Structure 1
Amino acid sequence: MLSRVSRHWFSTASSHPWLFVGLGNPGEKYQGTRHNVGFEMIDACAKSLGISVDTVHCKALFGQGYVGDIPIFLAKPQTYMNLSGESTGPLAAYYKMPLNRVVVFFDDMNLPCGVLRLQHKGGHEGHNGMKSVIYHFRGNREFARLRIGIGKPPGQMDPKAFLLQKFNVGAREREPSTKWWPASQNNQALRRKLFTEFSMIDSALQEGSEALKLLISKGLTESARCFNREQKYKHLRLQTLQV
């Protein structure tokens, strides 16, 4: 449903709004892939906050609601990943959002699967969607981001194929297919590892939505300090399990 969302909706609010943007690719072909965990995080937050993300605004699926008296905007750009800034930039401009009230969710191969990082600012981490967002923010990197760890490809698997691998509900409920693994990697240990990773993503989505509730109530600095400390311990536990 196409909708022109009025700025008057939050202009009388007593608190400044937050804009949360999850990066991904539109269409059934990409649903549930590793590269779309930013979309999945938005969906998890929408469900947790009771917000429907079902209108179209600034080339994004869009939803709005309140947490207490704080206006919340949720968006999933429909421009395809590499052009995410074409939606995110205009959204922030339309609502005259200061960038310190914008949080972008994206997948990150530099973090272990299921580990999250909430940061005040940073670079693009080699992520094409983030490159586009930064470009459309005129090079300004002073916006928060929630990095969602998806881990690195196993063996010699092509990173692009890894990113576009389905990460859907069905795959999480059963042992994943091994048809794409090199023969030398097709073993029980790797199967168990990947099956565990599927459930870790589900846990990360729950943890991320809870972290954003904390962010809304406590602010970015305090929520990032508490949340990242917990995620650091989680990272250390994972390293211990892998030894």
Structure 2
Amino acid sequence: MISRRCFCTATSRPWLFIGLGNPGDKYRGTRHNVGFEMIDAFAESQGILMDTVHCKALFGQGFVDDAPVILAKPQTYMNLSGESTGPLAAYYKLPLNRVLVFHDDMDLPCGVLRLQPKGGHGSHNGLKSVIYHFRGNREFARLRIGIGRPPGQMDPKAFLLQKFNATARGRIDVALQEGVGALKHVLSKGLTESARCFNREQKYKHLRLQTLPA
């Protein structure tokens, strides 16, 4: 693990990227775990190993060009994600404007992404826990990963814990690669500029996909 001292003396303050999900093979590939998948895709693209346990999270850290980045997948189960997220931000003495949380979002069509500088929890239990452990502060960024709505009268909880069908899986795989590009842009150009450009592109994608089944 790169020491906290090394990160604190880097050329810029590190970003903390946190993917939300549930640990264990039982939940691998489910809709609720796309936050984990986004962390894994980014880590793989940058050659960052997620092989350490720190603050109740699978953890990795490294540099993208000269920008320091910390990656984490809380292993507390979704509803207790803040038990990991809060201590991680505190350990690295990071302001919340250097924290970016990746999570599934039923309000977006499957495969559509959004970068936001802040927001509420939208009834997402993982985000509720994160906000609670940030003492109610919601001023942290999010990468929302659209998974679509459950069909018919299906229980949303059951929908979240299902795996993607082939069509939806293809859309998510494309979205993960788009997300990697957006995150690299955040590290080099900052959140505001990155969100403006990326969200414009995703808006057009939204218009194409919103009428199609997930």
Q: TM range, normalised to the smaller chain?
A: over 0.9
CA RMSD of aligned residues (A): 1.3
Q: Aligned pair count?
A: 213
2:108–2:148: 8 Å Cα contact kept in structure 1? yes
The 3-state SS of whatever aligns with 2:10 is coil
Runs of 4+, deviation exceeding 3 Å: 239-242
> What is the aligned partner in structure 1 of residue 65 from structure 2?
68
What is the correspondence of 1:58-207 to structure 2 with a 5 Å cutoff?
58-167=55-164, 176=165, 195-207=166-178
Deviation at 1:154, TM superposition (A): 1.0
Aligned residues with identical type, % of pairs: 80
TM-score, normalising length from structure 2?
Answer: 0.96
| 1:221–1:29 CA distance, 2 compared to 1 (3 A) | same
**Alpha-carbon distance in structure 1 between the residues aligned to 2:210 and 2:155:** 24
3-state SS, counterpart of residue 16 of structure 2: strand
Contact 2:14–2:69 under 8 Å retained in 1: yes
Tell me the secondary structure at the aligned position of residue 72 of structure 1: strand
Aligned position for 2:49:
52
Q: CA deviation at 1:9?
A: 2.5
Q: Deviations over 1:128-156 (max 9, x none)?
A: 00000000000000000000000001122
Shift of 1:49: 1.2
1:29-72 Cα offsets, whole Å, 9 max, x none, are 11111000000000000011110111000000000000122111
Q: Which residue of 1 aligns with 2:15?
A: 18
Deviation at 1:11, TM superposition (A): 2.3
One-letter amino acid of the counterpart of residue 213, structure 1:
K
Query: In 1, are the aligned partners of 2:150 and 2:159 still within 8 Å (CA)?
Result: yes
For structure 2, the 5+ residue unaligned runs are none
- Among 187, 194, 198, the residue aligned to 1:223: 194
Quickly say closer, same or farther: Cα 1:47–1:240, change in 2 above 3 A: same
After TM superposition, the score normalised by the length of structure 1 is 0.85
Q: 1:40 aligns with which of 37, 41, 48?
A: 37
Q: How far apart are the structure 2 equivalents of 1:199 and 1:75?
A: 25
8 Å CA contact retained: 2:35, 2:145:
yes
Structure 1 residue 240 displacement after superposition: 6.0
Structure of higher CA gyration radius: 1
CA contact (8 A) 2:111 2:174 kept: yes
